[in-house]
Structure 1
Amino acid sequence: MCQLELKGFRSLADETVTLQRGVTVLVGENNAGKSNVMDAIRHLTEPLDGKRDLHLQRDDLYRDGCPAEGHRADCPRSIEFVGRYTSRNVSDLASYNQALNADRTSISYRLTYTPPPTGSQRGELSWQAGETDTADQDPEPAARKRIRHLYLPPLRDARRELASSTGSRIQHVVERLLKDKDEQQSFIADVEKQFQIIEEMPTLSAAAEHVQKGLTRLTEGAHHQQVGVGFAETSLASVTRALRLRLEQVGLDPRDLAQSGLGYANLLFMATVLTQLQDAAEADLTLLLVEEPEAHLHPQLQTILMDYLVEEAAKSHQREAVGDEWLGRIQVVVTTHSPHIATAVGPESFVVLQRHRRVPEEGKEGSEKEALPEATTARLPEYRSKAVAVRGLGLKDASLRRVRQYLNATRSTLLFGPRVLLLEGIAEAILAPAFAEQILDRAGMQRFRGTAVVPIDGVDFEPYLRVLLTKDPGSGHRIAQQVAVITDGDFFGLDEKRKVDRPGDLRDLFTELEASDDVARVYANRTTLEPELLAADERNVPLLQEAWRNQRRDAWADDWVALPAEPEEARARAFADLFGKHKARKGDFAQDLLEISAQIGPDGHLIPPKYFRDALEWITQGEPVDAR
């Protein structure tokens, strides 16, 4: 396992990110800090091929709500990364004596970067091995370099990358196959023989003779020149530069990548990069960093890709090193916006990144303004990335299994955004967008579109609420910033025989999880959804009647006439009983309601019940502000 402590780096003001032993999936909205975490790992570890292409610079320094023109006195002045590595087998740490921590079960390396002052070009970079204050802070840099990374960037046009005239992708693969010098020389000698055969082909000889005629006329009066046709000097680079990868379905002839789909071209690009995993055997730990692998891949291929990465990581940890051999461990870190990628592993492998808005208190100690013009020192909103590792929440295995089974079945975005609306079933999920469009303004509607609407197909909200609302023991942050639950009262309070108070139980759970009204609320009716629609407004009655006609075309009239006109409680119970009695599908009924409403036009809107309206208005209110 690896734990990252990140300070002063871009949106990561002061955050700890825990990476799991096999695969960690970083999820969260855009600008939440997923790529920043990946870049921090790239700074903290050596590239697997030794070719570093990412360097720290002044603009990487976290800005504490500052304008572009300058920093405040209380802003961080340096960037600090700490990587802590633990192993189930303590003997794995034998090569890292200088980096061994006091607990004797972990090692750590600290990288500090101080940007250059204005007018200078070079910043100051320093390393420290272990938790020590010695003057010799990094006595064994070679040991630190036994921990490396392999970075696979987000793919946008793999065909262009693979078709590059440099041929570098193929060259890397060939070079890894020909590590021995004698093997390289033998390969080049064989290529030269083949080139010589090509050079002697009659057409090429004729072409040279054709050019020679003109050249003779131009040079015979001075220094007569002779032309020949041949290949450039043979080397691995020159040979691979002329090669192109081709692709086609098994059983057909491979063809140019331009004729292949982007998805399979992306997989081919990944395959060329992943061949470098063979080099993981030349490091103790290789962190495989894969950003947004879902680009151009259909859902099934996304799942297959993740299965492959999980398998490679697991196999590497089964490898037994002998003597001074490299350990060859692989740890995979993936960023994604795809539920198909994320749900290929269990939720315990998730680290959720959130973008928190915070307005710092004015006048607090250390917040004095620098001597800058007033226009440049006005306090701006501050955004910080916060990370919550699901494994660190202390949840019971049963809750995690329940959530995983749900995510596997639905590919839900439950853990992907800061706002979550939990619903009992499909009928509420169908009606929620229509109600939102009716009652919310443009800004509210945009926030609704950014809300994860999750029908759990039942009433057991507890496992989902525990995952979303349990505080991280270290940071005190939760996965969700706002959670609303819409549920039925199921006639509680209307029937002496019923003892279930689900809304009350949910509020008790919020109290247990220390989730205030600013964080979590439950919105419940007295009965169930359909009777509440009936009672919400008289304009709903003809819509409900017509929708019921679609459910029971031959007997709908008798059903409807049988509904008592009053009192309201009896009417509500009778309408609710119709669905169970005749096995009517509530999802179909909701679809019919919206279709009938659309046919009538703007004057035929289905009016939402008050509890539903209140829930939508609360979950889409202004951006949450973090008090921390």
Structure 2
Amino acid sequence: MYISSLRIRNFRNFLSSKFMFKKGVNTVLGENGSGKTNALFALRLLLDESLPRNITKLRDSDFCRNLDDWKGHWIVISVDFEELSSHEGCQILKHDTGHMDNSEKGTLTFYFRPCLRVRQALFEANGNADLSQQVIDDIKIDDYEPIFTGRANADFLCDKAYSELVGDFDNLVFPDPNNQDFKAYGVKLSPLHEEVSFTFVKALRDVVSDLKNYRNSPLIALLKGLESEISDEDSENITTLVSDLNNTISELDEIKQVSSGIQNTLHKTVGYTFSPIIDIESSLPSELDKLLQKLSLTVGDNYVDGYSGDLNELSLGGANLIYVALKLLEYERKQEADKAAQFLVIEEPEAHIHTHIQKTLFENHAINKTQVFLSTHSTHISSVAKISEMNILGLDESKVDVFQPATNLNPIECGRIERYLNATRSTLLFAKGVLLVEGEAELILIPALVKKVLGISLDELGISLISMDSAFFEHISNLFHSNRIRKHCAIITDFDTSITKLPADKTKDNEYLRSCRNSQESGVIRKRKLDEHTKDNPYIEAFYAQHTFEVDFLIADNVVEAVEVLESIYNKKAYIKKSKALLEDKGVDVYGKEILRLADKVGKGWLSLLITECVSSETYIPKYVIDAIAFSCGNKLAPQVIYKMCKYRLINPMPAFKDKDKPKQFFADNKDDINACIVEFTKQCPDDDLSYLIGLLDR
């Protein structure tokens, strides 16, 4: 059997979310703070016996912060099982959770809900809004109860079902708690910890202290019960040796002198009548089970020098690996028991672990029969994960969405995407927005333009810029869809309109004109395909340079930057002078041809790198690039981010605006009203690139 889905309602940062899982390894990806830990903890609440028994008594802070008020609401966490067979290990689990429809499916649900008294009071107050609100206002967290049920078939993620079974909080109407629909809520049962094997490997942060801590050390967990496997003869010999050692230590003259000194001091201080009797004895435990718990690890970083010492001497990465190894050994021991299923949950294994080890750890468990749940924000792990086994968390204005990137994609399409997602490109899985570009010219120059002109990096905007090497736009952008990753993906490419006028009769083309015509025809075909591909998909859109990226960069009035790089390309002044004249020509057929010649001469990537060294706050960003950036942000940016860009523009040279005293003074006088400052900036600097960007945003 395996877990096919996890459904969470109102728990921590999950208002209403569903995770879909497969057999084998399942990866939960997401940026920091998106809820990866909370998702795994929800799974643990249902199945992890290592958690304290009172852990299910949640706190008010465990309710989703997107609720207007937690009082009266329920936290509902459900896992759905598949392939509950008649195997002996599954029988109890199937009996308790299996649906009564002759299928091999089951559901285990955890509810954290108001107790019967409160639910009864809410029901009796129906029709009296003031009384209902008073009951809700009086609810305390101690009025809540945790329960587990099996076989529930209600979908609490559905708002209609939630209103009917929990309560309609808009109209203050609540169901009768004495007329429970057991088919919907499920049948109450005890936790099912004993029926499954569950091993949790937590995020590796302060491992050394955990390895030394009696309660947390996985070594102690492995040593418990080991005494039963030691022969009686060995056990008796060890006990005798420890007893003799205790006696020997206790009888040492030096020990006796300290003991006698303490006793004499007490006699002198309080007298013989009130003085307690003091002695010092060695108290190493002679019981074998207690003695084994005193064992500790000695470690070394490698086999080269053979040195082995205390845990504190080990590198953090080495300690993490030892911790993981101990937990995996604990997991292997649990596999020997005849359980209904084995689950291995690993939280962020990438912390302090080398890249190659991350991949090895992941790939080794990918072939294991046990169902594995692994959370990560490692691009190296995500680059070898299958998108069909991913759940991606997206965080938008404190709201979490869960995406399954392979939904409705066939295996061939998934395979193409997986082969292309290397460690660099897989950053698009974590980004808030994505820019797909043709090649290295855009990859090098666009980030520099944004940073120099707007004063903020693409990373700060949450945008991942991915070079597609002139291919695969359709395949990769397929990930972004209302059924898959609900984030915005902008495609930046060239329309390749000829920079020179083409004769109506193509037979009159010379070699250069033929090349221009072929590029233009390819651009028309490319645009037609991309427009068809992006049609009816609100999450992807293509943005085109009228000609090519290099030519449109000059069209945006950036000839100065192009001329500045000539000295890095030529040594002879005559060549520089000739090229400068061509670049400064007014005709696109002239300067366009020259910039493309330079790109061909030194390489597009190298030319872009040279231009980045000349880019400044006075450079213009081509409008279609700004359009793409706005789209990839979902046409939304936080006011604080926009305000930061406005301030940057005002303290740096701006090509379209010279007198900045007036907006500067306004910013100084209204620094607590950033929205007013943004409006003033656009009013005073209407032709600035930033004002153009702000105009594209939904504010």
TM-score grouping bracket, smaller chain normalisation: 0.7 to 0.9
Range with greater deviation from structure 2 (192-201 or 263-272): 192-201
2:82 to 80, 86, 93: 86
- 1:21-80 CA-partner distances (Å, limit 9, x unpaired): 111111122332222211211112142x575473242422335442xxx458xxx72122
Which 5+ residue runs of structure 1 have no aligned equivalent?
318-329, 358-382, 473-477
After TM superposition, give the deviation of residue 107 of structure 1 in Å: 1.7
Of the two, which has the highest radius of gyration? 2
In structure 1, C-alpha distance between the alignment counterparts of 2:458 and 2:552, rounded to whole Å: 27
What residue number does 1:99 align with?
A: 97
What residue number does 1:159 align with?
A: 208
In structure 1, C-alpha distance between the alignment counterparts of 2:468 and 2:234, rounded to whole Å: 61
In structure 1, C-alpha distance between the alignment counterparts of 2:517 and 2:425, rounded to whole Å: 40
What residue number does 1:611 align with?
A: 624
Range with greater deviation from structure 2 (332-341 or 214-223): 214-223
Contact 1:299 1:340 in 2 (8 A): yes
**Within the alignment, does 1:350 sit opposite 2:402 as a pair?**
no
Which structure has the higher relative contact order (CA within 8 Å, separation 6+)? 1
**Within the alignment, does 1:44 sit opposite 2:46 as a pair?**
yes
**Within the alignment, does 1:259 sit opposite 2:313 as a pair?**
yes
- 1:352-403 CA-partner distances (Å, limit 9, x unpaired): 112245xxxxxxxxxxxxxxxxxxxxxxxxx432211223x12133332232
| SS of residue in 1 equivalent to 2:480 | helix
What residue number does 1:380 align with?
A: none
After TM superposition, give the deviation of residue 290 of structure 1 in Å: 1.7
Contact 2:225 2:289 in 1 (8 A): no
Contact 1:167 1:244 in 2 (8 A): no
1:465 to 466, 477, 485: 477
**Within the alignment, does 1:279 sit opposite 2:334 as a pair?**
yes
- 1:240-268 CA-partner distances (Å, limit 9, x unpaired): 55433222112412111222211111121
In structure 2, C-alpha distance between the alignment counterparts of 1:409 and 1:214, rounded to whole Å: 68
| SS of residue in 2 equivalent to 1:467 | coil
**Within the alignment, does 1:175 sit opposite 2:250 as a pair?**
no
After TM superposition, give the deviation of residue 140 of structure 1 in Å: 6.8
**Within the alignment, does 1:337 sit opposite 2:377 as a pair?**
yes
In structure 2, C-alpha distance between the alignment counterparts of 1:37 and 1:217, rounded to whole Å: 62
Structure 1 residues 416 and 190 mapped into 2: Cα distance closer, same or farther (>3 Å)? farther
Structure 1 residues 536 and 88 mapped into 2: Cα distance closer, same or farther (>3 Å)? farther
- 1:247-300 CA-partner distances (Å, limit 9, x unpaired): 211241211122221111112122222222021333322322222222222322
What residue number does 2:303 align with?
A: 250
**Within the alignment, does 1:560 sit opposite 2:579 as a pair?**
yes
Equivalent residue letter for 2:607: F
Equivalent residue letter for 1:303: K
What residue number does 2:131 align with?
A: none
**Within the alignment, does 1:506 sit opposite 2:530 as a pair?**
yes
Structure 1 residues 235 and 431 mapped into 2: Cα distance closer, same or farther (>3 Å)? farther
Contact 1:6 1:16 in 2 (8 A): yes
In structure 2, C-alpha distance between the alignment counterparts of 1:418 and 1:409, rounded to whole Å: 17
What residue number does 2:658 align with?
A: none
| SS of residue in 2 equivalent to 1:247 | coil
After TM superposition, give the deviation of residue 439 of structure 1 in Å: 3.6
In structure 1, C-alpha distance between the alignment counterparts of 2:79 and 2:48, rounded to whole Å: 13
Equivalent residue letter for 2:79: G
What residue number does 1:576 align with?
A: 596
After TM superposition, give the deviation of residue 437 of structure 1 in Å: 2.3
| SS of residue in 2 equivalent to 1:124 | strand
Contact 1:25 1:349 in 2 (8 A): yes
Equivalent residue letter for 1:612: V
Equivalent residue letter for 1:129: G
What residue number does 2:554 align with?
A: 534
Range with greater deviation from structure 2 (147-156 or 118-127): 118-127
In structure 1, C-alpha distance between the alignment counterparts of 2:114 and 2:233, rounded to whole Å: 49
Structure 1 length-normalised TM: 0.77
Structure 1 residues 428 and 489 mapped into 2: Cα distance closer, same or farther (>3 Å)? same
| SS of residue in 1 equivalent to 2:230 | helix
What residue number does 2:284 align with?
A: 232
After TM superposition, give the deviation of residue 17 of structure 1 in Å: 0.9
**Within the alignment, does 1:130 sit opposite 2:145 as a pair?**
no
Structure 1 residues 342 and 446 mapped into 2: Cα distance closer, same or farther (>3 Å)? closer
In structure 2, C-alpha distance between the alignment counterparts of 1:203 and 1:434, rounded to whole Å: 74
1:451 to 437, 453, 463: 463
Equivalent residue letter for 2:393: L
Structure 1 residues 198 and 414 mapped into 2: Cα distance closer, same or farther (>3 Å)? same
Root-mean-square deviation over aligned CA pairs:
3.7
Equivalent residue letter for 2:47: T
After TM superposition, give the deviation of residue 158 of structure 1 in Å: 0.8
Structure 1 residues 134 and 612 mapped into 2: Cα distance closer, same or farther (>3 Å)? closer
Structure 1 residues 239 and 542 mapped into 2: Cα distance closer, same or farther (>3 Å)? same
Structure 1 residues 505 and 207 mapped into 2: Cα distance closer, same or farther (>3 Å)? same
In structure 2, C-alpha distance between the alignment counterparts of 1:171 and 1:107, rounded to whole Å: 35
In structure 2, C-alpha distance between the alignment counterparts of 1:170 and 1:137, rounded to whole Å: 39
What residue number does 2:562 align with?
A: 544
2:409 to 395, 398, 417: 395
Contact 1:492 1:499 in 2 (8 A): no
After TM superposition, give the deviation of residue 525 of structure 1 in Å: 0.7
- 1:448-487 CA-partner distances (Å, limit 9, x unpaired): 4411121222232011110122x32xxxxx4142221211
Structure 1 residues 19 and 610 mapped into 2: Cα distance closer, same or farther (>3 Å)? same
Structure 1 residues 515 and 166 mapped into 2: Cα distance closer, same or farther (>3 Å)? closer
After TM superposition, give the deviation of residue 12 of structure 1 in Å: 2.2
More helix by share: 2
Contact 2:6 2:78 in 1 (8 A): yes
| SS of residue in 2 equivalent to 1:412 | helix
Contact 1:128 1:137 in 2 (8 A): yes
In structure 2, C-alpha distance between the alignment counterparts of 1:187 and 1:388, rounded to whole Å: 57
Range with greater deviation from structure 2 (405-414 or 15-24): 405-414
1:440 to 451, 454, 459: 454
Equivalent residue letter for 1:454: I
1:195 to 239, 242, 246: 242
In structure 2, C-alpha distance between the alignment counterparts of 1:588 and 1:227, rounded to whole Å: 81
Equivalent residue letter for 1:84: D
Which 5+ residue runs of structure 2 have no aligned equivalent?
119-138, 154-180, 502-515, 639-697
After TM superposition, give the deviation of residue 490 of structure 1 in Å: 2.3
After TM superposition, give the deviation of residue 438 of structure 1 in Å: 3.5
What residue number does 1:54 align with?
A: 55
Structure 2 length-normalised TM: 0.70
In structure 1, C-alpha distance between the alignment counterparts of 2:52 and 2:70, rounded to whole Å: 33
In structure 1, C-alpha distance between the alignment counterparts of 2:471 and 2:106, rounded to whole Å: 46
In structure 1, C-alpha distance between the alignment counterparts of 2:215 and 2:182, rounded to whole Å: 47
- 1:126-145 CA-partner distances (Å, limit 9, x unpaired): 33322475599547758674
Equivalent residue letter for 1:205: L
Structure 1 residues 210 and 350 mapped into 2: Cα distance closer, same or farther (>3 Å)? same
In structure 1, C-alpha distance between the alignment counterparts of 2:272 and 2:451, rounded to whole Å: 88
Contact 2:149 2:189 in 1 (8 A): no
Contact 1:10 1:61 in 2 (8 A): yes
Structure 1 residues 50 and 595 mapped into 2: Cα distance closer, same or farther (>3 Å)? closer
Equivalent residue letter for 1:595: E
| SS of residue in 2 equivalent to 1:408 | coil
What residue number does 1:121 align with?
A: 142
In structure 2, C-alpha distance between the alignment counterparts of 1:159 and 1:439, rounded to whole Å: 46
What residue number does 2:611 align with?
A: 593
After TM superposition, give the deviation of residue 18 of structure 1 in Å: 0.8
After TM superposition, give the deviation of residue 530 of structure 1 in Å: 1.6
Structure 1 residues 492 and 289 mapped into 2: Cα distance closer, same or farther (>3 Å)? farther
Aligned residues between the structures: 553
Structure 1 residues 107 and 607 mapped into 2: Cα distance closer, same or farther (>3 Å)? same
In structure 1, C-alpha distance between the alignment counterparts of 2:375 and 2:200, rounded to whole Å: 12
After TM superposition, give the deviation of residue 428 of structure 1 in Å: 1.2
After TM superposition, give the deviation of residue 119 of structure 1 in Å: 4.4
After TM superposition, give the deviation of residue 571 of structure 1 in Å: 3.8
Report sequence identity in percent.
Answer: 22
